[in-house]
Structure 1
Amino acid sequence: MDAPDVRVDVYRNWIARASRAPLSLRINDHFAISPAVTALLQTIAGLSTQWRTMDLAHALNLRDFLPSQGNFPLLEKLSTNKSFDNRPSFRHAPNLRQVYTVHYDSPASLQLPWSQLTVFRTHTIVFSRCLEVFHDAVNLVDGFFHTILHDSCPLVVSLSPLIHLQGLTLGSGSVAVFTTVLNSLITPALKNLTLWFQHPALYPSFVDVSPFLNFATRSSFQLQTLGLHDMRTTESLIQCLKATPSVVYLTIAPTRNVDMQAIYTQLTRSVHFLPKLETFHVILAANACPLRLRPQTASVLGRMLSWRWAAGDIARLRSFQLAHAYSNHYFDDAITSDPAFRRLAAKGMDLYVGKMRPVVDSFPEFEPKDL
């Protein structure tokens, strides 16, 4: 809903035609409240028993009309952007499975039926709350915790076996957060993992990857997709990759300290290093672009791509992309002019070297009907 009173009748008619059908709504009420708009918001709140998907991320005014103990028998997906002042409860939502919230402050600010959730995604969550989610959401299949704020959390935490978890994205600027979270999880069904080490300049010169290695050993998962963003050192990155030989789709966004030429060399003529790799994407952000391109980098990369394309005893590398933040074309030309690169492109390998494409924030990841 993104219009003043003149369109209120259109929305009211739409709701009337829907009758008792399930409703999928995205509410945007960033405009002045009038009697007509107030009446419409009261109507929408009164139809909560018909909500199937609801995006309240921009519904600042609608929240004032939500009951503290609501009844949402059809609600399957919910999106919010921050805590509710009146603390509505969504515990009486027997079909609720997916929750997307930009901020998660405390259980009191957003009451949810944790044991039945399969998807929970949040951009900002306090460290201790994250551990509580892992403990309570026992049926979680997909978890997204992009920014985890550090707080006073016990150093000793109990293990949380999330036996259904298949996808996990974890982002933080604190090494202690990663260490504690990874030490607390058992995820045997995990297929997709992304670790986002934010603010790498604040890290020590060496990142201890033993929590990751122990996590991989303890869970015995078979990762298919792995994303490692802002790894601090070459050796720590190589250790993580050696611990995940089942990876098919790999994305690396290294810092400037990581020697990508060493990574390309490791991927060449070693049937035990990522033997199932089919898609390899490298992202060189502004803080990762080296001061200059070493002359041999293009040839080392070309040899790796050639070997990964032709080797018969490992999976064929079918896609390689290198996106960067360079301001000129020298970097692109130095790589794409290599004979091996041109030959593989002609044979059908999906190749891209160039500027980073715009990043589109896809949160929340469902698209209910706009109102």
Structure 2
Amino acid sequence: FTTHTPVPAGNETYDRELVRRYLGPWAQDVGADAEAALALGTEGGQFNLTVLAIRLSSHVNGVSKLHGQVSSAMWRHLWPGAPESPVSAITNGVHTETWVGPEMRALYAQNIHANWEEHLLEPELWSRVAEVPDNELWAAHRSQKERLVRFVRERVRMQSARHGLAPDDLRGVERLLDPRALTIGFARRFATYKRAVLILSDLDRLRAVLGDAERPVQLVFAGKAHPADRAGQDVIRRLFLLTQGEFRGKIVFLEDYDMEVARMMVQAAARSRPSTAASTSASSTAGGSRASGARTAGPSAGTPGPTPRRRTRKTPPSSTSSWKRKWSRSSSRRTRTGCATAGSAG
């Protein structure tokens, strides 16, 4: 089981009586103990899908080393007496070709290798990035940034029209963002632990940075909050109000965050923090925009990391064993579905 969000909003819970209503008939059909099944997911008087998935799995991992440590501390009580960290770490990967823009692809093909996509794990080859002419690298980056600006203007125009913005204001959207300015992107779920609001903690400093005429900076935000994450929704609301107030034109928020938005921002922003179901922020950034701003490496997949650790099986909490065997024999498909549902909360 791969655990994801280490905040309550990302670990769904349900009333035990509601779960009993639907679980009871199924348990009777397969000859299982409904109360034992209910106990597997019980945590703090509620039925917790993450707890259920952990107790039904022989191995649990986070999606990065730090996340594994945080998750171990968060769920340690489910393994009483266990001598080791119960949650391991398997760092997410990234599909490099999804995130590299057309201009950078052409640059890699010309300066690195005609079939660079097939040589991502050869650091000697990627050392050639240092030999790419500055003007060619900058031209590719500028082209991708100009495409992002056009994309943002069109998206903001559509969302502004949907909100009933006046025609004069809609025309002003065409002047939104400066292709020459340093563009910083933040595109991910607005869970509070991802700290999107950190940049708003010192508004005086933010005004100074965004108001510097000689070194212009602009911010592009995109993302969604979990339906039950009120704090995350409040962050989005606060950001949106800033885009309509004194930081209008300097801070942009894109609604309806999706893969297309993430791809545009990764390819063009000087520094971006994207997050999608298919990639992690650190790895996908290097595959696009960071490669255009740093001369030391190619896509992140081109830099080999440490040898992956062999996955070892860990014994789940002992109280789950008998019912887990019955669950597995009677409905292995349901077991997989239950774990996937809990894991997808991230």
Length-normalised TM-score, structure 2? 0.26
Bigger strand share: 1
Bigger helix share: 2
Length-normalised TM-score, structure 1? 0.24
Question: Which of the pair has the greater relative contact order for Cα pairs under 8 Å at 6+ separation?
Answer: 2
